[in-house]
Chain A
């Protein structure tokens, strides 16, 4: 495995990988729905990103950090014991939890921080849900000596204490957001308010494939290294492409990262797993595609959980990283054109999968990707033994042990 290069997008004709268009749209989704104050900044960012894409030095620099700092490539692990237990398709794990900081988040953060540096920005703001993106952002700010402010919902600050402490250690200021339900949506609002008030020196480092153009495209490009590696690794291991790729979805960056390279391989089924919370029809869910409808929030048009008057509803999930009422616009488009399938997994199912993974493979997964695994546990037994599923294990679960203990009735 020699390929650690970052696949920055280039236009492709007749390809599902050619989006977005020059208005930042994937079909009807995406766009740039922001206040005029921010619009010139988005145009400037777009220009800076195009320049970086075209600059071989940028790619070289990014590849260097991905390899020696992030620790790429991440392995593709054949989960033999889990496969045996499920008794069907072969299950592979893409081990993104082995990256530095313990999740896929650093792939994107590393790319964007290099763009921010090229733009001469000296202060970074970011939103975070589970804290994985916040930790990754605080990490690169420590590495490059940049000021860092992380907005995190007060509810999430409470349920993700280890990550809050890590961010503090890394020198970041963590601002709890009490508006709304105090989760990722509210943190996103607050980060945008900070950005609009500090446009001169501040870079808004978005953590997922959502937000105004060019963020969904840029974050996807930086994350698509995941899929590029999987393709090469599975060819080496099996001599063919997988039948199914499964990834959990909050905003959808780990899923876009593993899907993108396979969009034109139409025989590879792509499944995004949304958090169903207490159940898709419980009213306490985070399944934006399954239970939402298209609307405009946080700079893009996408599927949103909203009431019939267009007011955004609170999402619910046991996993702070999936607790968001929207989803990246490219996923909305992939859903509508039928290229990817989106399903829901409940809190309970995710907790069960979390334990199965830990017991059979000795890998403690983040609650986010436990949702993906729960779906794998549903479909693998129905598939033939020579079929292949790849699950993106996007993060490690150390941060979640308090939440899991609480739900299992264990006092730590």
Chain B
């Protein structure tokens, strides 16, 4: 079983959903984000999403855009992100790591090389925001060969018939983009989720993670109960950004994010 399958199976036994925090690699610098990554499991992360900085993150809101720019300024490259995951795996061989980013850096790296090296580094899954099912053949075979899950995104605009098409070959888990919008803006209501999730479960047995617009412990709890996992991204990055001094990490940076993560985890586990 993959780390992702193992983790979701264990949580199912525990009878709760997962909390998936997000951090942008190299934001605000390599060392700080590695320190944060390493500390996240103890603070309550069940899986971790690592953002790969891209110059033009057109599906992201201002918070993640700014984080991506800080990461790039600190020298983030896809190779450097893999290095970070490799370093994380030295101390944690269980927490699943999912990379989230845009296609061009992967395309530039070489799809085959990237999939192979990502799996070697200890990455479990990849989310490529601007690679819909129609274009997924670019990575599919390489990812399968390397043992990486390509996490499929579905949205409120995805029709029932299209869900079959999108999830036909899905693996790992399904990422439900719970709002029509960019990251860190609106939130879906419990009622929205109650309506959406059965649609998805109709076509797949995979766990469903709910993301985009989840910021409070209460929202994380709701999403992780109606779905199987809650992804929290912009809210954590906002906290981190608030601790920076002229774009640089301070001694408050890592503790502040971890404290917020603990609060979210407590709600998800309550």
- A, B assembled together: yes
User: Which A residues have a C-beta under 8 Å from some C-beta of B?
Assistant: 23, 31-41, 179-180, 185, 188-189, 192-193, 196-200, 295-299, 304, 306, 308-312
- The interface centre, meaning the residue of B106, B129, B182 with most chain A CB atoms within 10 A of its CB, is B182
B132 engages A36 (CB within 8 Å): yes
Q: Which segment, of B53-61, B218-226, B235-243, faces chain A?
A: B53-61
Q: Taking the nearest CB of chain B, how far is it from the CB of A291, in angstroms?
A: 16
* Residues of A contacting B181 in the complex (Cβ-Cβ under 8 angstroms): 196-197
Given pairs A32-B134, A35-B130, 20 additional interface contacts (CB within 8 A) = A32-B132, A32-B135, A33-B130, A35-B59, A36-B158, A37-B157, A39-B134, A39-B162, A192-B59, A193-B59, A196-B181, A197-B185, A295-B108, A296-B104, A297-B104, A299-B130, A309-B109, A310-B104, A310-B107, A311-B104
B177 engages A295 (CB within 8 Å): no
B130 engages A296 (CB within 8 Å): yes
User: Which B residues have a C-beta under 8 Å from some C-beta of A?
Assistant: 54-59, 61, 65, 72, 77-79, 102-109, 129-135, 152-159, 162, 166, 177, 180-182, 185-186
B132 engages A310 (CB within 8 Å): no
Closest 8 CB pairs of A and B: A310-B108, A310-B105, A197-B181, A37-B155, A36-B153, A310-B104, A311-B55, A309-B77
A309 engages B78 (CB within 8 Å): yes
B105 engages A311 (CB within 8 Å): yes
* Residues of B contacting A309 in the complex (Cβ-Cβ under 8 angstroms): 77-79, 105, 108-109
* Partner pick for B56 among A23, A185, A197, A198, CB 8 A cutoff: A185
Q: Bound state CA distance, A40 and B54, in angstroms?
A: 24
* Partner pick for B157 among A23, A33, A40, A308, CB 8 A cutoff: A40
* Partner pick for B130 among A34, A308, A312, CB 8 A cutoff: A34
A295 engages B182 (CB within 8 Å): no
* Residues of A contacting B79 in the complex (Cβ-Cβ under 8 angstroms): 309
Subset of 6 A-B contacts with CB under 8 Å: A35-B155, A189-B57, A192-B59, A200-B180, A311-B72, A312-B55
A193 engages B130 (CB within 8 Å): no
Q: Bound state CA distance, A34 and B56, in angstroms?
A: 13
Q: Bound state CA distance, A37 and B186, in angstroms?
A: 15
Q: Bound state CA distance, A364 and B268, in angstroms?
A: 65
**Can you name the residue of chain A whose Cβ is closest to the Cβ of B62?**
A179
* Residues of A contacting B153 in the complex (Cβ-Cβ under 8 angstroms): 35-36
* Residues of A contacting B55 in the complex (Cβ-Cβ under 8 angstroms): 180, 311-312
A37 engages B54 (CB within 8 Å): no
Q: Bound state CA distance, A32 and B131, in angstroms?
A: 8
Q: Taking the nearest CB of chain A, how far is it from the CB of B99, in angstroms?
A: 14
* Residues of B contacting A185 in the complex (Cβ-Cβ under 8 angstroms): 56
* Residues of A contacting B185 in the complex (Cβ-Cβ under 8 angstroms): 197
* Residues of A contacting B108 in the complex (Cβ-Cβ under 8 angstroms): 295, 306, 308-310
A37 engages B180 (CB within 8 Å): yes
* Residues of B contacting A296 in the complex (Cβ-Cβ under 8 angstroms): 102-104, 107, 130
A40 engages B182 (CB within 8 Å): no
Q: Bound state CA distance, A189 and B106, in angstroms?
A: 19
Q: Taking the nearest CB of chain A, how far is it from the CB of B57, in angstroms?
A: 8
A36 engages B104 (CB within 8 Å): no
Q: Taking the nearest CB of chain A, how far is it from the CB of B172, in angstroms?
A: 16
Q: Taking the nearest CB of chain A, how far is it from the CB of B25, in angstroms?
A: 13
* Partner pick for B78 among A179, A298, A310, CB 8 A cutoff: A310
B107 engages A193 (CB within 8 Å): no
Given known contacts A199-B180, A309-B77, A298 and B159 CB-to-CB distance under 8 angstroms: no
* Residues of B contacting A41 in the complex (Cβ-Cβ under 8 angstroms): 157
